[in-house]
Structure 1
Amino acid sequence: MTSSVSVADTRMAQGPVLQAVLLDMDGTLVDTEGIWWTAEAAVFADLGHVLDEVHREVVVGGPMARSVGHLIEVTGATVPLAELMVAINTRFEELIARGAPLMPGARRLLTELAAHGVPTALVSASHRRTIEVMLRSLGAENFAFTLAGDEIGRTKPHPDPYLLAAARLGAHPASCVVVEDTLTGVAAGEAAGCRVVAVPSVAPIGPAPGRTVVSSLDELDVSFLRSLVSVPV
């Protein structure tokens, strides 16, 4: 007889175990938040607008349409949203063409996750084109699955990206650890029912039930990540 119980549910019945680690890209694994801001500022400067630094925390970590839409609103730019998004993506890709710098501890963490056979997904609000460029630095072999913001109807802060990633890896969300650097990403991971590790980049992130805040990926290893899913919220 064929069982109707999923592999993920069976694992949960056997006790909480780490089934997958779901990682954000920009600002979490790759030091690109400043590069994105540089690209945005350059494109708006070409249009005669100077971006105030106060908007940097507003646009970090969110879907590109929301971020660029905010900048259009505050500057009064008249260029269509879609055109500006293409221009900013193009400028960003030019800036990272020679490779993107990884965040401290990123390479070690990815190598350790692979060595321990922990399924790992890259879950980003960036477009697929940008992710493919980034994978030259990150190594596509380090991820069982990658998801781009333009491949899903609702991206962060909605839970959909993390729910889809967990499902694709055959994992229960409560047995997944999400690693994020912004409140937008943290909100998505928590809404999906995952344990969340926040590594704040531009804006501060406070602790909360089911959330762990660290200062660097250097503080994370497989043993620590496993411990997060074995402790009740």
Structure 2
Amino acid sequence: MTSTVPALGTLPQAPGAARPGGIPATEGSTLQAVLLDMDGTLVDTEGFWWDVEREVFASLGHTLDDSWRHVVVGGPMTRSAGFLIEATGADITLAELTVLLNDGFEQRIDRDLPLMPGATRLLTELSAYGIPTALVSASHRRIIDRVLTSLGPHHFALTVAGDEVERTKPFPDPYLLAAAGLGAEAARCAVVEDTATGVAAAEAAGCHVVAVPSVAPIAPAARRTVVTSLEEIDLAFLRGLMTERR
């Protein structure tokens, strides 16, 4: 999904909109783009993936250990599915398991797709101020396109799916691709992520990271800010990341 990307450095104020934090829309910031993860960051679906994985393996006669959840969260499906096949010894190929997991996940989100608190407000604010925004996920294109109907495709200038890059998270490739697609420098992009895998990818790309942990704790670090909810993030906050000395 692509659309016209606003010119970088031009951050128009939406008609009648209040300026977040009282900061003028065109002053005091080098923020060029915002790149957001999907599962566990914008939509409350990390638990859905684990539930589907357990259901699929139960149908194959295997029980997943809860300790494995931290291993598979946030990464590409090939890694997660491959780990679970090896850990359980299930008689199924990676390709077959990938289809079953995507099918099961689509059925779950067709019934219910809860957005994370603050997601709609944040996306609406970024759109209102013309901030170039991308959705960067390790999920496959078929899943992203389903979720976009709830998030609103108009909020994103582009989207990057895990099955569209040679190396997905934790490699930096998806975030480098998204920044380039928006005409931005990675160092002037703010990334919002919920897992250590996603944080590693964004940091390897050279982006400023805001971590909103969903399953496992994430510690603060240089160029990494940790918050408890998207409710703590607005445009003024994201611009501040670019100007803070760390």
Q: Normalised by the size of structure 2, how large is the TM-score?
A: 0.88
Q: Matches of 1:88 and 1:229 in 2, distance apart?
A: 38
1:126 maps to which residue? 139
- Map Cα deviations across residues 51-101 of structure 1 (whole Å, 9 max, x no partner): 111001110000000001111111111200110011010011011113411
Query: 2 CA distance for matches of 1:195 and 1:80?
Result: 38
The match for 2:37 is: 24
1:124-171, Cα deviation, whole Å (9 max, x unpaired): 000000001101110100100001000010000000000010000010
Residues 3-18 of structure 1 aligned to structure 2 (within 5 Å): 17-18=30-31
Q: Is the 8 A contact 2:192 2:211 kept in 1?
A: yes
Counterpart residue number, 2:172: 159
The runs of at least 4 aligned residues of structure 1 exceeding 2 Å deviation read none
Matches within 5 A, 1:214-233: 214-233=227-246
Residue aligning to 1:173: 186
For 1:213, the equivalent position in structure 2 comes to: 226
Instruction: Give the counterpart of 2:62 among 37, 42, 49.
Output: 49
Question: Once the 2 structures are TM-superposed, how far is the Cα of residue 15 of structure 1 from its aligned partner?
Answer: 8.2
Q: Which one-letter code corresponds to 2:193 in the other structure?
A: E
1:16 touches 1:175 (CA, 8 Å); kept in 2? no
Q: CA deviation at 1:8?
A: 7.1
1:116 aligns with 2:119: no
Structure 2: distance between partners of 1:39 and 1:140: 25
Match of 1:4 in 2: none
C-alpha change, 1:216 and 1:15, in structure 2 (3 Å) is: closer
Corresponding residue for residue 76 of structure 1 = 89
In 1, Cα distance between equivalents of 2:113 and 2:143: 11
Q: Aligned match of 1:34 in 31, 40, 47?
A: 47
1:196 pairs with 2:218: no
Identity %: 67
How many aligned residue pairs are there? 223
Task: Indicate if the aligned counterparts of 1:39 and 1:88 stay in contact, CA closer than 8 A.
Answer: yes
Q: Which residue of 1 aligns with 2:116?
A: 103
The gaps in structure 1 that reach 5 residues or longer are: 1-6
Q: Which amino acid aligns with 1:63?
A: P
Contact in 2 for aligned 1:99/1:136 (Cα 8 Å): no
Give how far 1:232 is off.
Answer: 3.2
SS of residue paired to 1:177: strand
Q: What is the one-letter code of the residue matched to 2:241?
A: L
Once residues 230 and 23 of structure 1 are traced to their aligned partners in structure 2, the CA distance between those partners, rounded to angstroms, is 20
What is the rounded CA distance, in whole Å, between the counterparts of 1:20 and 1:99 in structure 2?
30
Opposite residue 126 of structure 2, the aligned amino acid is: L
Q: Is the 8 A contact 1:99 1:134 kept in 2?
A: no
Structure 2 Cα separation of the partners of residues 175 and 70 of structure 1: 35
Instruction: Give structure 2 stretches of 5+ with no counterpart.
Output: 1-6, 10-26
